[in-house]
Every structure is written in C-alpha cells, then in structure tokens.
Amino acid sequence: MKQKKQIIIFTDLDGSLLDKDTFEFDEIEDYFRELISKGIKIIPNSSKTEAELLDFNEQNNLDLSFITENGSSIHGLNKIHQNLPDKIIISRTKDEIQNIYESNISLDFKNKITHILELEIEVQQKILGLPLDKIKPAIKRKHSIPIKFNGTKIEKNEFAKILKNSGLTIQTGGRIMNVCDDVDKSRAMSKVLQLIRKELTDEIITIGVGDNENDIEMIKQTDYPCLVKNENFDSSLINIDNLIKSDEPSPKGWSDVIKTALQKI
C-alpha cells in the first residue's frame, strides 16, 4: 500500500503570507483556505508574539498551530495530533534574556540601540507600522527584546558576535531586530517535525516560506524551500539548491510559490 502523504507548510507571516504594509492576505485567502480544507497543515513560524498569533487565528477564523518569537515557543500541536502537547517553551524568559544582555553588552553598544518597548506608543506604532489596536499584542513579548540598531553593518556583526558568546542571538526581521535566546525558527520547526513524526505514520513533506534573513535556515531545511520577493532583502547570496522564488511580493507571491511547490510534489 502506498504511504499517505502529509504536507506541512511552515510559513513566515509579515512579508511572506501577509502584505508587508497592510498585514492582510485577502487577495489569496480563498486559496489559503482551500489548502487547509485539502488537509494541508499550515504552521505560521513568526517573530510575532503568542498574543498576535492568537489574534491572527481569531480574526481570520482559523485554528492553526504556530511558532512564536523566532522559535521561542510552540503552540497548539495537539490540534495536529491529540497526543502532542498544547505548548512547548523553548526559550528562557524575557527577564533572563534582559539580564544577560545588560551584563554583557557594553555602554558603547547600548548607546547605538533603541529599545522599542521603552518608546511612546505613537513612536512604536510608526516603527512597527501597525495600527494602534495591534500594538498591544505586538509588545507583549515573553521571550525577546525588540530593538533598532543604529550602527554600521560591521558594528551590527560585532554586536551579534558578543550576543552569541553570551548565549543569545539577534534575529533580523522586516522592520526591527529582536534579541532572543539561543533559538531560531529552524530549530523550533525541527522540534515540531520530530514530535509529529512520532505520532503520524504518514510520509511528511515540508514546504518552507519566508522573505527575510531570519527565515533562511528554516526554509533551507524543508523539502521545498520558498522565498517570497522582498525588495529590501538581497537574496542573490542565498545558496539553496532547489529554491523556489516568487516574482511578486506577498501575499500573491505566497500563493505563487506554494502552487509551484505543490506541482513538484
């Protein structure tokens, strides 16, 4: 008997599925729902918070499992299989991360950093590009410190190195960067797959969709890596053999790459 296939899509949200400015995806919503009704599992893997992802599910009448804050925690795997946990915390708490940050980063670097959480809400709104009602869930971070780095590229690399030596990471997304624990989207994804493979006997086929630096490791480790066009991200240096690229940005680019990937499966 031929083994059943279970397709799982791990996807970034902002700039990949969601329009980078409006955060909507209505243009491809029918197609998105069609995939779900066909039994394809879609797991958002985002730098967004748990509160934002719960909002995303609720506002779109969805019930998706998801990964938050650049791989810091995994939610709702029990929706995929009853034996799987509802919640897995991978990262240390924000306070622990903050303490490590405070004691390892020099004042020189600290002066080059804007802490998003310390700004007035109007300024946060401007930087994050979010409507007022979406600011609150966006700053409810449990495992990461959102920053803007106001230095050169060389300084940023130096900063990343110091963080790494202290057991932390810097994750670069569309609008801001996040100081995180030693986590990333790809490792959280691997954890999800390891758990799912224990419970499902189906052949698991993975598709990964992203548009930025913090998505590359994740998509690289999927069977069908997909990159949605992002004019602010230079993808020419990305070396992934079977990379599927879109000619259009999100959300149209998302459906384009998924269609191409599904044709190949």
Binding footprint of Mg ion on the chain (CB under 5 A): 12, 14-15, 174, 211-212
Smallest gap from Cβ 14 to Mg ion, in A, equals: 4
- Closest to Mg ion by CB, 195 vs 215, is 215
Scan for tokens 């670097």, then name that residue.
Answer: 109
C-alpha to C-alpha distance for 104 and 100, rounded to whole angstroms: 6
Smallest gap from Cβ 93 to Mg ion, in A, equals: 25
- Closest to Mg ion by CB, 12 vs 69, is 12
Smallest gap from Cβ 203 to Mg ion, in A, equals: 29
C-alpha to C-alpha distance for 63 and 65, rounded to whole angstroms: 7
- Closest to Mg ion by CB, 44 vs 76, is 44
Smallest gap from Cβ 148 to Mg ion, in A, equals: 16
Which residue spans within 130-214 are E strands per DSSP? 144-149, 168-172, 177-181, 203-210
Residues paired with residue 179 on neighbouring β-strands, in sequence order = 145, 170
- Closest to Mg ion by CB, 196 vs 228, is 228
Query: Could you tell me the sign of the dihedral formed by the alpha carbons of 160, 206, 36, 258, in that order?
Result: positive
Are 139 and 104 contacting, i.e. CB atoms less than 8 angstroms apart? no
Residue 203 vs residues 2, 7, 48, 163, 225: alpha-carbon distances, Å: 10, 8, 30, 38, 18
Smallest gap from Cβ 173 to Mg ion, in A, equals: 6
- Closest to Mg ion by CB, 143 vs 229, is 229
Which residue spans within 159-216 are E strands per DSSP? 168-172, 177-181, 203-210
Smallest gap from Cβ 111 to Mg ion, in A, equals: 28
- Closest to Mg ion by CB, 19 vs 182, is 19
